[in-house]
Amino acid sequence: MDKRIIKKGMEALIEIDGDVANAVEIVGFPVPRLRPTGFKTLFAIIVSQQISTDAANAIHKRVIGLLDELSPESLLGMDPEALRNAGMSYRKIEYARGLAEAIIDGRLDLKGMSKKANSEIITDITALHGFGQWSAEIYLMFSLRRRDVFPAGDLALRLSLGTLKGLDVKLTPKQASNLVEHWSPWRSVGSLFLWHLYRGAPA
């Protein structure tokens, strides 16, 4: 989502949700978060699972340093122990190699995704070991730039939504989804705003 889409989406959300309008006065608009499509981004999603951003960035940098180019072919040609020494767990190495194999043998058609519905893409990605609903939705939002995605399984998103709505209870994914149903077709922008609100305005 670029600045133009964020502006357009936030203006729509401000019109239909007074809580968003009030919060924008405090923290402003979120900044763009864009990722390229393809293997490199999906590999980065694997690396970042269940660890801090700083740790993920460090591991990713070490892996890149081992290769001339990060591609399915180069990853499969690398000794798994080299990836382990770079900081990846054996489970994540298994996931990454499975991703690379699926791309090479055509089970995951990255180029054809642009023509598919969100639900089809989620099905394709979650069929791979190591990729759940959240990973697929993040790819939809930031790589394929789909405008109406709400990753309700994200805890930070639900906590932020609870704060936005002045709720003292911890929202379930279903409750959170119901609360933002009226944000459609701008739920991706709304999600980005909730993450922005959770972290506070950028310094």
Phi, psi of 60 (to 5 degrees): -60, -40
pLDDT exceeds 50 at position 17: yes
Instruction: Give yes or no for residue 84 having a pLDDT over 70.
Output: yes
96 against 48, higher pLDDT: 96
Q: Nearest Cα to 177, choosing from 137, 150, 147, 156? A: 150
State how far the Cα of 13 lies from the Cα of 23, in Å rounded to an integer: 11
Least Cα distance to 108 among 116, 100, 97 occurs for 100
Q: How confident is the model at residue 1 (pLDDT cuts 50, 70, 90)?
A: confident
Q: What is the mean pLDDT of residues 195-203?
A: 69
**Residue 96 token pair:** 């990454």
pLDDT at 201: 43
Structure tokens at 200: 């506070």
Q: Residue 82 carries which side chain, given as an amino acid letter?
A: A
What stretches of the chain show up as alpha helix (H) in DSSP?
3-16, 18-27, 39-48, 53-66, 72-76, 80-85, 90-104, 118-126, 133-142, 155-164, 173-179, 187-199
- CA–CA dist 189, 12 (Å, integer): 10
| 10: pLDDT strictly greater than 90 | yes
Whether the pLDDT of residue 202 is over 90: the answer is: no
- Is residue 110 predicted with pLDDT exceeding 60? yes
Separation between Cα atoms, residue 63 and residue 73, nearest integer Å: 14
Mean pLDDT of 162-179: 96
Domains of the chain: 3-33+149-199 (1.10.1670.40), 39-142 (1.10.340.30)
- What confidence tens digit (pLDDT) does each residue in 126-149 have? 999 999 999 999 999 999 999 999
pLDDT of the residue at 200 = 56
Please name the residue that has the structure tokens 């791309």.
103
Tell me, yes or no, if the pTM score tops 0.85: yes
Residue 53 pLDDT level (bands cut at 50, 70, 90): confident
Between the CA of residue 196 and those of 24, 32, 168, 182, what are the distances in Å? Answer: 10, 10, 20, 20
pLDDT at 203: 34
> 136: closest CA among 117, 158, 160, 155?
117
Q: For residue 52, what pLDDT band results from cuts at 50, 70 and 90?
A: confident
